[in-house]
Structure 1
Amino acid sequence: MLYNVVLFLHILGAVIMFMAIAILTTSMISMLHAKETEKIRLWSSLAVRIDALFPLSTLIIIAPALYLVFSTWGWGMAWINVSLVALLGNSFLGPVINLRRLKGILGAADSENGEVPSAELLSKVRDRVLWISVFIMVMIIFGILFLMAVKPPLLGSLITMVVAVIAGFVLANFLLARVKPVKFPGAVPHL
């Protein structure tokens, strides 16, 4: 019975993390397509607030996971060790890279008075490092889910994470390349 409750809590943490990353990516995509400063302000505010779910979900995932490892699986399973390192890596990306940049977008949007966002604000929204970081996080989460379901040996686990990182990098760059720059009235075209 205790095993099932702990497993439920572990899965609940994963569900919370998936919900948080879905809301974060929705917010970022909405900012990317926003043509008004107020919409960027609203979406960036949501993105900053939703970031608080990542530490909570990580805690809800790791605490039961440690019980499961010590009571059932042991540390000899490569997929467990790789998943733990990947989850801790994601926990680093969130506050160190993403949150700082998202707060920068929110601060820039809050300081603007115009209805149309400035070029500086739009460049913060299109920050390539932010987008790559978030999409790598997304793909790492899917990679961890794959490892939990398939339970591959060390080489398969490492390949899974490498593919996840590459896929996140490619997806972020693909999305940014497909977004057309916003044209402002009276702007001088680049020659």
Structure 2
Amino acid sequence: MIYNIVLFLHILGAVIMFMAIAILAASMISMLHAKDTAGIRLWSKLAVKIDALFPLSTLIILVPAFYLVFSTWGWGIAWINVSLAALLANSFLGPVINLRRLKGILSAAEADSESTPSAELLSKVRDRVLWTSVSSMSMITVGILFLMAVKLTVMGSLITMIVAIAAGFALANALLARVKSEKVVDTMQHQ
């Protein structure tokens, strides 16, 4: 009975994390496509607020996870160790890279008095480091979920994380390239 309740809490933490990732991604994509400063301001405010869910979801994931590891699984299992390392890396990258940049976008949007976003604000919204970080963290989270379901060996677990990170880089590049090509088309249509 206790095992099932702890497992439920562990899964609840994962659901909260995926919800936060989905809302953060939707906010960032909305910022990327916003035509006015007010839109960027609105979406960046939501992105900053939702980023606060990541530490909470990590805590809800980790506390039950430690119980499950100590009571049932043990530390000698590769997928657990790789998943834990990936989750801790995500927990570090979020505040260090994402939150700082998201707050920078919000500050710039609040300081921008023009209705049309400034080049500096647009540059912050299109920050390649931010997009790569958020996309990679999202794919790493999917990789962790995959490892929880499939329970691979060390090599399989490491390959899963490498593929997840590569997918994150590819996703960020694809999104930014698409916005750049849309901007070129818009510019050509307005000439």
TM-score, reference length from structure 1: 0.95
What secondary structure is seen at the aligned counterpart in 1 of 2:27? helix
Tell me, in whole angstroms, the C-alpha distance in 2 between the residues paired with 1:143 and 1:113.
42
Query: CA offsets, 1:6-25, max 9 Å, x none?
Result: 00000000000000000000
How far is 1:93 from its partner? 1.1
Q: Which runs of 5+ in 1 are unaligned?
A: none
The structure that is helix-richer by fraction is: 2
How far is 1:94 from its partner? 0.5
Tell me, in whole angstroms, the C-alpha distance in 2 between the residues paired with 1:112 and 1:159.
44
Tell me, in whole angstroms, the C-alpha distance in 1 between the residues paired with 2:99 and 2:4.
34
Matches within 5 A, 1:136-151: 136-151=136-151
Q: Which amino acid aligns with 1:181?
A: K
Q: Which runs of 5+ in 2 are unaligned?
A: none
Specify the alignment match of 1:42 in structure 2: 42
How far is 1:113 from its partner? 0.7
Q: Tell me, yes or no, if structure 1 residue 171 matches structure 2 residue 171.
A: yes
| Superposition RMSD in Å | 1.4
Q: Which amino acid aligns with 1:59?
A: L
Tell me, in whole angstroms, the C-alpha distance in 2 between the residues paired with 1:92 and 1:71.
27
Query: CA offsets, 1:128-158, max 9 Å, x none?
Result: 0000000000000000000000000000000
How far is 1:181 from its partner? 2.9
Tell me, in whole angstroms, the C-alpha distance in 1 between the residues paired with 2:65 and 2:152.
18
Query: CA offsets, 1:7-60, max 9 Å, x none?
Result: 000000000000000000000000000001000000000000001100000000
Q: Which amino acid aligns with 1:171?
A: L
Specify the alignment match of 2:10 in structure 1: 10
Q: Tell me, yes or no, if structure 1 residue 99 matches structure 2 residue 99.
A: yes
What secondary structure is seen at the aligned counterpart in 2 of 1:181? helix
Q: How many residues align?
A: 186
Matches within 5 A, 1:1-191: 1-179=1-179, 180-181=182-183
Q: Which amino acid aligns with 2:173?
A: N
